[in-house]
Amino acid sequence: MTTLESLPAPSADTAAAIHDAVRERYAEAAVAAAAATSPEEAAAGSEALASCCGPDGCSDERSSPVFGAELYAATDRAALPNAAVLASLGCGNPTAVAELREGETVLDLGSGGGIDVLLSARRVGPTGRAIGLDMTDEMLALARRNAAEAGATNVEFVKGTITDRPLVASLFDKYEPAGVFHLAAESHVDRSIVSADDFVQTNVVGTYSMLESARTYLNSLIGERKDRFRFLHLSTDEVFGSLGEAGYFSEQTPYAPNSPYSASKAASDHFVRAYQHTYGLPAIIINCSNNYGPYQFPEKVIPLMILNALSGKPLPVYGDGSNVRDWIYVEDHCRAIRLVFERGASRETYVVGGGNERRNIDLVRRICNILDEIAPMEEVQSLHEQGLKSYSELIHFVEDRPGHDQRYAIDSARIARQLGWQAEVGFDEGLRRTIHWYLSNPDWVDQASSGSYGEWIEKNYAWRIRKEGS
């Protein structure tokens, strides 16, 4: 059996990491054990940790000095995530882990995009169920197709919007979910600049509606079901504003949104925080960097550039193309979301980035280079007839977006330290996968580009290109 005397002294980084992971009444006692410089101090911290469960003790032996010993021993990166997670769950009670079980249902608010589809396909198991919500027949049809192609056969779809509180409340009552993945959002900055109405309604009012319904539902639960319930709110790094040439966003970065979109997401984050603090809602916030990968709507920059290039259309680059974004492949993000939902500390925030900073112009040029390699222009008759030799000849610098943030970059140390997560897909590999996916799914592209999305792309970019050419 492990004894305190046999354990090495922990590093300062270990103590800080465990302190970062542990919340509320367990923090002081757990850190006392973790930051100890002698076996005697560790034992004292362990006794305090055991006593935090109350006079009747805890149901798990990890609330005893043995648990304190594990914290004390967590001096390397491999051991730390387990110790930190045990601490954050409150005396290490395994029933507090929100890992989804066979047959359980989750509400997936925002069912049409790539994150939602790929996450649904992996998170509820063969006997579980995810309930998706979208507001138009057009989006529901696309969402059903996405789910079927991704193998997410256990997803049901409901027509409606998260601003409809009676509908949302009825979903909680009918399906009795084990948790909520709140991914629904209006997310295109350019759209928000033209009009912020939809962003305020969906991102702010809709989030409030979700929180109220979740709070009412949580109050109806008892025992283990209540302990295990989680509300995961997905947000963006754009709420932090713009970085200079150096530095990174972290969980401690002050909010400074610069667009109507990021302002609406900041407001939603603040509502979630308020419900955490005021009502004790077991919510977790993720602020993520720019996603890319399969099933992303064509209005986003990477699919827009791929599809425009293959059609011989201009590739619009804002300003001088020097703006920097941190890119994360959608599969890596999905792993982070599920890991945070199941193992993250309740009422915590995690920032998640891919560690792939690229200037916009470099991103577009790399897309062109890969297309030159795998779909050369001489093999595409319509492009060959234009006399073009490289897709890069289609690049057009256009009038910049108003208030365009210069740089985003994320320090993902907390999720790496606490949960052992790190991005696995390199940027070039992920970009190649993405390009191949769009080349292999022309029917999906046609369906996703029709209707309002196609109209928006034409409206937003065509006039900028015409203006630059005049």
> Is residue 267 within 8 Å of 243, Cβ to Cβ?
no
The pLDDT score that the predictor gives to residue 41 is 52
CB 2: neighbour CB atoms within 10 A?
11
In the chain, the percentage of residues whose pLDDT exceeds 70 is 69
Q: In the predicted model, is pLDDT for residue 236 greater than 60?
A: yes
Query: What average pLDDT does range 363-375 have in this prediction?
Result: 96
Selected residue with higher pLDDT from 355 and 469: 355
- The mean pLDDT value of the chain amounts to 77
Give helix then strand counts, H and E, for the chain: 21, 12
Give backbone dihedrals phi and psi of 389, rounded to 5 degrees, phi first: -105, -20
pLDDT tens-digit map of 281-295: 999 999 999 999 988
Spatial CA neighbour of 40 closest among 64, 9, 4 = 4
CA–CA dist 204, 194 (Å, integer): 18
Torsion sign, CA atoms 310, 312, 318, 322 = positive
The pLDDT score that the predictor gives to residue 455 is 63
**What band does 62 get if pLDDT is binned at 50, 70 and 90?**
very low
Which of 74-83, 375-384, 459-468 has the least mean pLDDT? 74-83
The SS3 call for residue 39 is helix
The pLDDT score that the predictor gives to residue 15 is 42
Torsion sign, CA atoms 352, 358, 360, 362 = negative
The pLDDT score that the predictor gives to residue 53 is 38
Q: How far is CA 93 from the centre of its chain?
A: 26
CA–CA dist 439, 294 (Å, integer): 11
> Is residue 16 within 8 Å of 34, Cβ to Cβ?
no
Token pair for residue 6? 């046999």
> Is residue 199 within 8 Å of 157, Cβ to Cβ?
no
Q: What is the DSSP string of 68-105?
A: HHHHHH--STTTHHHHHHHHHTSTT-GGG-----TT-E
Query: What average pLDDT does range 159-179 have in this prediction?
Result: 92
The pLDDT score that the predictor gives to residue 113 is 52
pLDDT tens-digit map of 118-146: 554 455 444 467 777 776 777 777 777 77
pLDDT tens-digit map of 3-42: 333 444 444 454 444 444 433 334 444 444 445 554 455 4
What is the H or E stretch that residue 374 is in?
helix 360-374
Q: In the predicted model, is pLDDT for residue 165 greater than 60?
A: yes
Beta strands in 276-318 (DSSP E): 283-288, 290-292, 315-318
CA–CA dist 368, 350 (Å, integer): 34
> Is residue 143 within 8 Å of 112, Cβ to Cβ?
yes
pLDDT tens-digit map of 298-339: 888 999 999 999 989 999 999 999 999 999 999 899 889 989
List beta partners, residue 235.
Answer: 287
Burial of 89 (0-12, 13-18, 19+ CB in 10 A): buried
pLDDT tens-digit map of 176-228: 999 998 988 888 898 899 999 999 999 999 999 999 999 999 999 999 999 99
Q: What is the DSSP string of 158-169?
A: EE--TT-HHHHH
Selected residue with higher pLDDT from 307 and 466: 307
**What band does 109 get if pLDDT is binned at 50, 70 and 90?**
confident
Q: Which residues are the active-site residues?
A: 237-238, 261
**What band does 100 get if pLDDT is binned at 50, 70 and 90?**
low
Token pair for residue 240? 């932090």
161 phi-psi bin (left φ>0, alpha ψ -120 to 50, beta other): beta
pLDDT tens-digit map of 409-446: 999 999 999 999 999 999 999 999 999 999 998 888 88
CA–CA dist 55, 66 (Å, integer): 18
Kindly list the structural domains of the chain, giving each domain's residue range(s) and its CATH number in brackets, ordered by start. Answer: 4-95 (no CATH), 105-293+329-356 (3.40.50.720)
The pLDDT score that the predictor gives to residue 299 is 84
pTM comes to 0.76
CA–CA dist 438, 367 (Å, integer): 12
The pLDDT score that the predictor gives to residue 378 is 85
Quick one: DSSP state of residue 249? Answer: B
Q: Which amino acid is at 264?
A: S
